[in-house]
Amino acid sequence: MEAAPESVAACRQFARALDTAAVSYSEFANVLAIGQKNPDYLDPIVSANNSYGRAGLRAAATTALDASRTPGLHPDIAAPMRSWSMGAMKLILLMGLRADVDRFNNAANGLNTHTEAAQMACARAGTQA
């Protein structure tokens, strides 16, 4: 089965969003993995990683939302991309509010679920994200 051009384009764009999110959020996630329930947001490293992570996630959320709006894209592919974008925005909000680790973990787990759903939708369409 050959994938529709709009599916290929949207899934590639969504893959770029995932790459951007992974690169920008990873350092902040590493800080969270240290194990403190409440990260020390006064620490300059935590603060810098938080700012960088939010900026990257904001760009990724926009890219994912744009991908979901590709003209002619099947709703089964677009919906999980939109859900992912909303999940990324939730994570950005939690970062801005300086939430505790448990709230980040819950939001990240939801984001991972949306990632898998979008990737599976792309795979069913004959392409990849």
pLDDT per residue over 10-28, tens digit each?
999 999 999 999 999 998 9
**Which residues have a Cβ under 8 Å from the Cβ of 51 and sit 6 or more positions away?**
none
From residue 122, give the alpha-carbon distance in Å to each of 64, 84, 99. 13, 14, 33
* Cβ-contact 13, 67 below 8 angstroms: yes
Judged against a pLDDT cut of 90, whether residue 80 lies above it is answered with yes
From residue 22, give the alpha-carbon distance in Å to each of 49, 67, 71, 75. 13, 17, 26, 25
What is the predicted pLDDT for the residue at 1? 67
Average confidence (pLDDT) over 55-64: 98
**Which residues have a Cβ under 8 Å from the Cβ of 87 and sit 6 or more positions away?**
107, 110, 111, 114
* Cβ-contact 61, 88 below 8 angstroms: yes
pLDDT digits (tens, 9 = 90+) for 25-48: 998 988 888 767 788 889 999 999
* Cβ-contact 90, 107 below 8 angstroms: yes
Average confidence (pLDDT) over 83-105: 95
Work out the mean pLDDT of the chain and round it to a whole number: 94
- Percent of the chain at pLDDT exceeding 90: 81
pTM above 0.95, yes or no: no
Question: 89-101 burial string, b = 16+ CB within 10 Å, else e?
Answer: bbbbebbeeebeb
Instruction: Sketch out the chain's domains with CATH numbers.
Output: 5-124 (1.20.120)
What is the predicted pLDDT for the residue at 118? 97
